[in-house]
Each structure stands twice: as C-alpha cells, then as structure tokens.
A and B are shown apart, each in its own frame.
Chain A
C-alpha cells in the first residue's frame, strides 16, 4: 500500500451571493421536485466529496495517487474455484472506478451500498478505471 504523496487541494464551494440565493430558491425547489432520486444522490455524494477534500473521479488523471469518496454500487464475489479477488464498483456522483482487492475472497464491511473512502493509485485497464488494493476506510452509516 503506497501512501499518497500529495493531497488534492480541497475544493470548497463558495456560498452564492444573497441575491442569487433568493432568486435561485424557486429553481432549486423545482430541481429538487423534478430530479430523479439518483441525481439527488449524486449531488449529495459530490457535496460530501468536496467537504472531505477528496478528488472527484471525473477529474482524476491516469496513474495519479488519489483519495476517493463514494458508495459501492456492486460487489462481485469470485467462485471458490477461481483466483481469489474481491471486486467492487465505487461510484462518487461524477464517475465510477472498479476497486480490486487481490488475494481476498471477502472483506467484512465491503458490502453493496456501503460508503467508503479509498486511497490508492488509479489506473486504466481496457478502458475501465481500476484501483488495486487501496487503503480503504469504511465511512459511518447513519445507524452506526
């Protein structure tokens, strides 16, 4: 496991000016009513990403050491007869990356729907973005 050498500069959202805030209230209300649930989730995830100082996946460069915050959409368990590896798809509202844990069949806590924070080097394999064996940190669920 390689420690990340640089942290991406935290991106903070500047508060909109007061006039915009008043004008945008109606628009924000309509957006909240009309958006799909998944869009609202994505917006929440992006807000969390920038609050924690992590990098959105869409702005990660290839072979960069990154810190990514998101939820696991799917977890794939390999059969007993195959090579032991645990794969999970991590989604952070802007993009998806496949997280591969080599040598493990199952990791307690790595379950679908779980919010996690991973640090590792992001690469591309056959057009898909992958992180191998990252340092992972389980984020607290609301019931914890």
Chain B
C-alpha cells in the first residue's frame, strides 16, 4: 500500500506535467518530477521499491542504450523509462511514477550516486567515462570517485562495465558484483594516469596494466572491437541478462543518435555530438562529402569550447564543410588552424543552402542544436 502523501504528490506531479504539456508545449517530465520530489522527497525510493530497476549511465550513449535495454527487458514485462533523456533526479522520479513492473532509466553522471542509493537497482550499466561539460563535472577523476563510493555501497547491485575504460574499472573495483566486458582493449583519451593509484598508467596498444593491479587484461567476457554503437548493444544485452532477459539482435544504426530532416530539397542526417569522444566517434562515421557542423556552448553543451582543440578534424580535408551555430566561430577557427577549409555561416538553413538541391548532408550538432532541430 502506498502512503497518502505519495499519492497526493503523484497526482499533483501529473497535473503539473499535463499543464506544462498543454500550455507550454514541453515534455512535462522535469516539472512533474520536480513537483513529486518537492511534495514527497522520498518519491524515488518509494516508487522504485515496487519495481525491478536497471540504470544506465556514462558520458556518451546513455539515451540510445537505455532505449535498447528497455526493448531487451520488455520481453519480461512492461518497462517504465525516461526515453527523452530527462536524466536528472526529477526525470527519474517522473519515469518511476509509471505503474510498469520494470524500470530502465538513464541517469546523469553526477546524479548517479544518489539514484543508485535510492533505487537499489538490480543492474547498473556503465558505458564509458570521458571528458564532458567540464564547467560542471570539473574533472573526470572526480566523477569516478563519486561513482566508486556509490558502487561500493550497492551490494545488491550487479554492475556491467566496459573494462577497457580504466575509470569504470576503478569505479567498480570494490563493488560486490561486476561483469567486466572487454572489446580487446582501446586507448582511453583521458587515461594516462591510473585513477586508482595516481601512477603513470602503462598502455600497450589498448591494454592497460598498473602496478597497483588495475588492468583490462582480465575480463569476464571478451568481444572483438567495434563502433561505440556496437559496444553499447553488447553491453545492453549483458545488463538485460542480469534480470533474465534474452539477448536480442540490436540494430546498431538505431543506437546512433541521429535524425533525418529534409531541408531545402536536401537531406540532412543529423547526429548528436557533444564532447571530444563523441566528436571523434562521429567524425569517423562521416562518409558523405557534404558536411555541416553546428556548435553551441550553452550549459548542457559545455560552456567552455576549449575541448575543440583536442579533436582532430583532418578527416574532413577535401570535403565541403560548412560551420554554423552560436559558437561556430570557435570551431571555424579551430578548423582553419588544422588546415581544414570551411565556410562559416549564421544559421543551419543557410548552411544547408550551400549544397545543391538533392544533396545528402552529414550534420554533426551540439546537444542544444540537435534538440532544436529534432523538435522542428
């Protein structure tokens, strides 16, 4: 039996969400969760107690992998999820108000420790940990330290990690149950220092091993290397298995966060990119000779654009590259210095108009730009 206070909180939250949807045209998830948590701070804990909870976190791939894991778990029963990427405490609270017996939730990196302790999840899938939004995260190691405390205390939880990421290995080192998945090793762009002991981390190709014992030489399962989408599909299946779900064939393309838009007679395939790791991955995937890059630097994009200089854009040489966005000039200058010819324009529409009608254009878009285009 649920308590009256929670019932009232849920009712008010749903009403607030409905008002927000009707009058403001928003998803209503954030306001709804905020109202629930405001009226009943234990909402997450109480609502989660009735469900089998699985969490997904990491720097990149959270939203798409959460969708895949939801699909995998749905063979066992109905699944509640925050599929639009509303992944802070209130988004989690809102998703849990759903009556379904399973919950598969994506959780923001900084909110993960709290959500683990409140939901007592059956499984937590940790995808990767690299630099992102440093104005908020400050340092990668700092996030890993927060996770480590939470993982150590979650003795009922099984963690699924990509052990090739030394930060994930470190974060779950003292966890009770961990399934370590390796893809044969992969050099981590921020992994020069052992997160566990602070010594210079020895890398041989994609294999790291430290005198303190931290290594990806040992794994519970090993797969061949592949794209981030391929890895996330395998990791999602491993997490689903923990609650008894059968592995499914995951469409890798569906795991890339892309949308397609027709603009001025041309077709734009727009991919979400937000930090050095996701830019590097996305640049590798560009096969078109027509490219538009959109850079913004609002809160969720990361206020500081310095990281642009940690990505190599040389693969764009020889392509037709148009740059736009609120901070397009930062990117345009970065490209110029690397010798990548590009044209800076004011808007996405102008950028698309630089290509003849009927063109296929690859678009990489910062977080806020991606959602602005997705909602059009």
Tell me, yes or no, whether A binds B: no
A interface list, Cβ under 8 A from B: none
B interface list, Cβ under 8 A from A: none
